[in-house]
Structure 1
Amino acid sequence: MRPALRSGLLALSLFVLAACRANAPVATADHAMSLRFATFNASLYTEQAGGLLARLQAGDPDARKIAAVIQRQRPDVLLINEFDYDPEGAAAALFMRDYLGVGQHGQEAITYPYHYLAPVNTGEPSGLDLDLNGRVATQGRERGNDAWGYGLHPGQYGMLVLSRYPIDTDAARSFRLLRWAAMPGALAPRDPATGGPWYPEETWQQLRLSSKSHWDLPVLTPLGTVHLLAAHPTPPVFDGPERRNAARNHDEIRLWAEYVSPGEKPWLCDDRQRCGGLPEGERFVIAGDYNADPADGSSLPGTIQLLLEHPRVLRHATPRSEGAVAAVGGSAADADQHSSPAHDTAQFGPRSGNFRVDYVLPSVGFSVTGSGVFWPAPGQPGADWLDATDHRMVWVDLVNPHL
Structure 2
Amino acid sequence: MKRTVLAVSAVVAATASVTAPAVASPEPADIPGLVRFATFNASLNRATEGELLADLSTPDDEQARKVAEVVQRNRPDVVLLNEFDHVPGGAAVDAFRANYLAVGHNGAQPVDYPYAYTAPVNTGVPSGMDLDNDGSTGGPGDAYGFGQFPGQYGMVVLSKHPIGDVRTFQNFRWTDMPGAMLPDDPATPEPADWYSPREKEALRLSSKSHWDLPIHVGGRTVHLLASHPTPPSFDGPEDRNGVRNHDEIRFWADYVAGAGYVYDDAGRTGGLERGAPFVIAGDQNADPNDGDSADRAATQLLNAQRVVDPRPGSFGAVEAARNQGGANTGHRGAPFFDTADFGDQSPGNLRVDYVLPSLPLVALRSGVFWPGGHDELSRLNDTSDHHLVWVDVLAAYHD
Normalised to the residue count of structure 1, the TM-score between the two structures is 0.89
Shift of residue 314 of structure 1? 1.8
1:319 matched to 2:307: no
SS at match of 1:397: strand
Shift of residue 79 of structure 1? 0.2
SS at match of 2:30: coil
Distance of 2:171 and 2:282 partners within structure 1: 19
> Could you say which residue in structure 2 is the equivalent of 1:378?
373
> Could you say which residue in structure 2 is the equivalent of 1:342?
336
Paired AA for residue 107 in structure 2: G
> Could you say which residue in structure 2 is the equivalent of 1:135?
136
Paired AA for residue 372 in structure 1: G
1:26 alignment partner, one of 30, 34, 37: 30
> Could you say which residue in structure 1 is the equivalent of 2:20?
none
Q: Is the 8 A contact 2:366 2:391 kept in 1?
A: yes
Distance of 2:155 and 2:27 partners within structure 1: 27
Paired AA for residue 224 in structure 1: R
Distance of 1:340 and 1:186 partners within structure 2: 31
Shift of residue 77 of structure 1? 0.4
Shift of residue 129 of structure 1? 0.8
Distance of 1:269 and 1:218 partners within structure 2: 17
Paired AA for residue 135 in structure 1: S
Q: Is the 8 A contact 2:118 2:157 kept in 1?
A: yes
Q: Is the 8 A contact 1:65 1:105 kept in 2?
A: no
Could you tell me which runs of 5 or more consecutive residues in structure 1 were left unpaired when the two chains were aligned: 1-21, 138-142
Distance of 1:94 and 1:38 partners within structure 2: 21
> CA RMSD of the aligned region, Å?
1.4
- Tell me the percent identity: 52
SS at match of 1:347: coil
1:260 matched to 2:277: no
The one-character-per-residue Cα deviations of 1:354-399 (angstroms, maximum 9, x if unpaired) are 0000000001111111000000001213210111100000000011
Shift of residue 310 of structure 1? 1.4
> Could you say which residue in structure 2 is the equivalent of 1:98?
99
Paired AA for residue 191 in structure 1: D
Q: Is the 8 A contact 1:44 1:52 kept in 2?
A: yes
Shifted more, 88-97 versus 366-375: the winner is 88-97
1:160 alignment partner, one of 127, 143, 156: 156
Q: Is the 8 A contact 1:294 1:305 kept in 2?
A: yes
SS at match of 2:125: coil
Distance of 2:66 and 2:148 partners within structure 1: 25
> Could you say which residue in structure 2 is the equivalent of 1:212?
208
Could you tell me which runs of 5 or more consecutive residues in structure 2 were left unpaired when the two chains were aligned: 1-25
Aligned counterparts, 1:55-204, within 5 A: 55-58=55-58, 59-137=60-138, 143-168=139-164, 171-196=165-190, 197-204=193-200
Paired AA for residue 102 in structure 2: G
Q: Is the 8 A contact 2:253 2:305 kept in 1?
A: no
Paired AA for residue 390 in structure 1: D
How many positions carry a matched residue from both structures? 368
Distance of 2:33 and 2:175 partners within structure 1: 43
Distance of 2:210 and 2:305 partners within structure 1: 21
Shift of residue 25 of structure 1? 3.2
SS at match of 1:287: strand
SS at match of 2:88: coil
The one-character-per-residue Cα deviations of 1:161-206 (angstroms, maximum 9, x if unpaired) are 00000001xx310000000000000001111122421111111111
Shift of residue 23 of structure 1? 5.4
Paired AA for residue 109 in structure 1: P
Normalised to the residue count of structure 2, the TM-score between the two structures is 0.90
Aligned counterparts, 1:219-234, within 5 A: 219-222=215-218, 224-234=220-230
> Could you say which residue in structure 2 is the equivalent of 1:42?
42
1:394 alignment partner, one of 365, 368, 389: 389
